[in-house]
Structure 1
Amino acid sequence: MTATDIVESPLGGLRVLVAEGEEDGAVALTAVLRYNGFDTREARTEEDMMRTARETGPAVLILDLDLPGGDNCDVIRRVLKLPNPPEVVVVTAHTAPALRTAALRAGAAAYLLKPADPIELVRLVTRLGAKL
């Protein structure tokens, strides 16, 4: 059980995976998404993220580039090689334009800076999910 299981159980909507190493960040993002009807899971390491993505087949992955065990943009490339890969939304504290460009070139659909605006995040996830 994670801290966000207390907030609200998954609702059965569009599947979203939040890959965030920091508990506070993961809880906040997951809570916002669940309150907006998304079936949201969490992963705290790259290994956990890849396993959960394979098991649950999320439509959208919210990814922090500082995920423990991950190596920035290479993790985006790896997740996009999964069968039926999710749309990847990077949510990070990294402000370097070169990293933003690298993440988008690696296949990320969007690059948001922390703290991500909850309304913008929900709209983006909804839009990406509608493409499927």
Structure 2
Amino acid sequence: MTDIDAAGLSGADTSLLIVDDDKAFLQRLARAMESRGFIVETADSVAEGMRKVEQLPPAFAVVDMRLEDGNGLDVIEAIRSRRPESRMVVLTGYGNIATAVTAVKLGAVDYLAKPADADEVFLALTRDPTEKAVPPDNPMSADRVRWEHIQRVYELCERNVSETARRLNMHRRTLQRILAKRAPR
């Protein structure tokens, strides 16, 4: 019995599209999901993901929020318009409430922070929609959340330290010290 059979999805369409620009992660997750019974297609860009959605909208999808050529939410929106019953999960290394709300409004069933493992992704895809998600075993620390937010703003400001410091209402030298340190656990 495969994991999908155990989750009660046998006989159903098990097509899964994974869209992520981290090629190593993409391949690992694809292999893990295939071993759980999904028929997996992969894409490493928004453009390729959109082409695959146009060809055959998947029953399931795992989409990274930030891709080199755009926003993964565009892929979520395309899937939702072509196949409204599709179950989709958004992955991101830059989690914040606004993007989580947007992802859910566009039809995602869950929003997972990277690095998410295959078990977390599988559970998010196959969980009963009426069930609440279980709290994470090891949530990010407050220091890590702060660091992720600073990194996100820094990237959005195109790695301009002065502009990032201004937007965060932080002294530039303080920001430089934070950016020079390793990410907290």
* Residue identity (%): 27
Shift of 1:58: 1.1
Kindly report which structure 2 residues correspond to 1:1-132, keeping only aligned pairs within 5 A, or say none.
14-83=14-83, 86-127=86-127
Taking only aligned residues, the RMSD between alpha carbons, in angstroms, comes to 2.3
Which blocks of at least 5 consecutive residues in structure 1 are unaligned?
1-12
Structure 1 segments of 4+ aligned residues over 4 angstroms from their partners: none
Across the two proteins, how many residue pairs are aligned to each other? 117
Contact 2:46 2:67 in 1 (8 A): yes
Paired residue for 1:8? none
Highest relative contact order (Cα 8 Å, sep 6+), 1 or 2? Answer: 1
TM-score, with length taken from structure 1: 0.75
In structure 2, the gaps of 5 or more residues are: 1-12, 129-185
Distance in 1, Cα, partners of 2:59 & 2:85: 7
Q: Is the 8 A contact 1:63 1:90 kept in 2?
A: yes
Q: 1:21 to 1:85 in 2, by over 3 A?
A: farther
Cα separation, 2, equivalents of 1:58 and 1:72: 15
CA distance, structure 2, for counterparts of residue 72 and residue 84 of structure 1: 17
Counterparts of 1:55 and 1:77 in 2: how far apart (Å)?
15
Q: TM-score, with normalisation over the residues of structure 2?
A: 0.56
